[in-house]
Amino acid sequence: MKLSEKSQLCSLSPMRKFTPYAMAAEAAGKKIYKLNIGQPDIETPPEFFEAVRGFSQKVLAYANSQGTEFMLDAVVDYYHRIGVDYSKEDILITTGGSEALQILFLCILDPGSEVIVPEPFYSSYNTFIKASGGVIRPMATIPEEDYNYAKPEALEALINEKTRAIAIINPHNPTGNVLTRDELRSIADVAKKHDLYLICDEVYREFVYDTDDVLCAGSMRDVDENVVVIDSVSKRFSACGARIGMLISRNKALMAEALKFCQGRLCTTTLEQVGAAALYRVGPEYFEKVRDEYRLRRDLCYAKLSAIPGVVCAKPMGAFYVMAKLPIDNADTFMKWMLTDFEDHGETVMCSPAAGFYATPGRGTNEIRIAYVLKEEDLSRALDLLALGIERYNNR
């Protein structure tokens, strides 16, 4: 029984592949501080659950393939409020930002097509791009430069006849890098010059901690044909389990193509769109409060990490992740050991080994990604456990 080449090129998720070990550890009574997945402990706004409970139709019917009218309206309104002018025709509601990326790559990649992606990058890009037969052309970034990738010449040097797109995540998962307005503009100019799609994953848009000098890619109206925005309610409203995302572009040919795949899979969940539309009614005070909380966690996380002997990391400017190089041989071995062999007072910590966030073989093997998604007290304990784990692992 044959398996496909593309699926054999894919890997389990670095965030999720140790789940079986975690479940075994938990079953044995161990408490695990989970910093491996971007699953915040921040409460989902109650508006979501209220709207869902208020759903009174007797038949849970299919939604429209492009998304329900009320959900599309909610997204258009949200963008208007942040100064970006989209119409409903520019938006397709998807099953998480994940499906938006899957559909997009199906639309634009042929076997061997290349996508330029600054690395490290959110690991699922690997799966989505390979599933479409595409290849990631990584652009290396380093912590010493805050993982900056706004280098037009370096990006241009990676372009060849197979290049279809430049994909950026802003604010960045997993590095926390945030582009200034000028930096984003400089990258858009490269995409425009070379007639490439500019994929802008902005799911962490509201989580920027030290500056207001940021720009939504949808504001740059001279690159309407190039820009594709990936968005989601998962992080914005701490509603990861809703699986509501969106593919947004003013490129009509692309959106017509994407609708084929949307119709093929019929629709996104009806009830979750009811809940998600209600989320967009929460006001700016919600974002301020959440941003303050994450800023606090960011500061704590960075301070404690930096204090561990031998750790190298850059202070993240946005999102809720930090990459860290650890003074260990191999992060995969280490993180598995932390689940199976380590404990302190019955507790341990789970992070994501970072090799899966790189496309270049050999990079990231002694790095981890930490999601600072737990409240201060838990985060502090988790980082102490990490420090203790590193020490014991190296003396084992």
Instruction: Considering only residues 302 through 341, tell me which ones interact with a second copy, judged by CB under 8 A.
Output: none
Identify which of residues 305 and 373 has a Cβ nearer to a second copy in the complex. 373
Q: Which CB atom, from 93 or from 311, has the smaller least distance to a second copy?
A: 93
The residue with tokens 């207001």 is 212
- Of 363-392, which residues contact a second copy (CB under 8 A)? none
CB of 140 to a second copy, least distance (A): 23
Residue in 203, 254, 308, 319 binding a second copy, rule: CB under 8 A = 254
Degrees, nearest 5: CA angle 300-306-310:
150
For a second copy, the closer CB: 124 or 141: 124
- Is 251 a binder of a second copy (CB under 8 A)? yes
Dihedral sign of CA atoms 85, 90, 96, 98 in order: negative
175 near a second copy (CB under 8 A) = no
The footprint of a second copy on residues 7-66 (CB under 8 A) is 7-8, 10-13, 15-17, 19, 37, 39-44, 48-49, 52-53, 55, 58-65
> Binding pattern to a second copy, positions 206-225, x when CB under 8 A?
-------------------x
For a second copy, the binding residue among 32, 71, 74, 107 (CB under 8 A) is 107
Q: Contact, 392 vs 358, CB < 8 A?
A: no
- Contacts with a second copy by CB under 8 A: the residue count is 85
Which one, 265 or 281, has the nearer CB to a second copy?
265
Among 75, 91, 109, 379, binds a second copy (CB under 8 A): 109
Among 74-82, 103-111, 152-160, 311-319, which window interacts with a second copy (CB under 8 A)?
A: 103-111
Half-sphere exposure of 180 (CA within 13 A, CB side): 8
Q: Is 171 in the site for a second copy (CB under 8 A)?
A: no
Q: Could you say which of 51, 131, 323, 371 contacts a second copy (CB under 8 A)?
A: 131
In the complex, minimum distance from the CB of residue 83 to a second copy, in angstroms, rounded to a whole number: 25
Q: Find out whether 72 and 95 touch, Cβ atoms under 8 Å.
A: no
Q: If binding is defined by CB under 8 A, does position 124 make contact with a second copy?
A: yes
Q: Which residue from 85, 145, 157, 241 is in contact with a second copy, where contact means CB under 8 A? A: 241
Least Å from the CB of residue 48 to a second copy? 7
Q: How far is the CB of 180 from a second copy (least distance, A)?
A: 26
Residue 75 main-chain phi, psi, to 5 deg: -70, -45
Of the chain, the end-to-end C-alpha distance in Å amounts to: 43
Binding a second copy (rule: CB under 8 A), the pick from 75, 93, 132, 318 is: 132
Distance CA 311, CA 44 (A): 33
Lookup: tokens for 21: 């070990």
Q: Which of 36, 95, 141, 148 binds a second copy (CB under 8 A)?
A: 95
User: What would the x/- binding string for a second copy be over residues 260 to 299, using CB under 8 A?
Assistant: xx-xxxxxxxxxx--x------------------------
Q: Which is nearer to a second copy, 111 or 284 (CB)?
A: 111
Task: Looking at residues 190 to 209 of the shown chain, list those that interact with a second copy (rule: CB under 8 A).
Answer: 195-197
Residue whose CB is less far from a second copy, 219 or 270: 270
Q: Residue 14 or 118: which CB sits closer to a second copy?
A: 14
Exactly one of 51, 203, 242, 331 binds a second copy (CB under 8 A); which one?
242
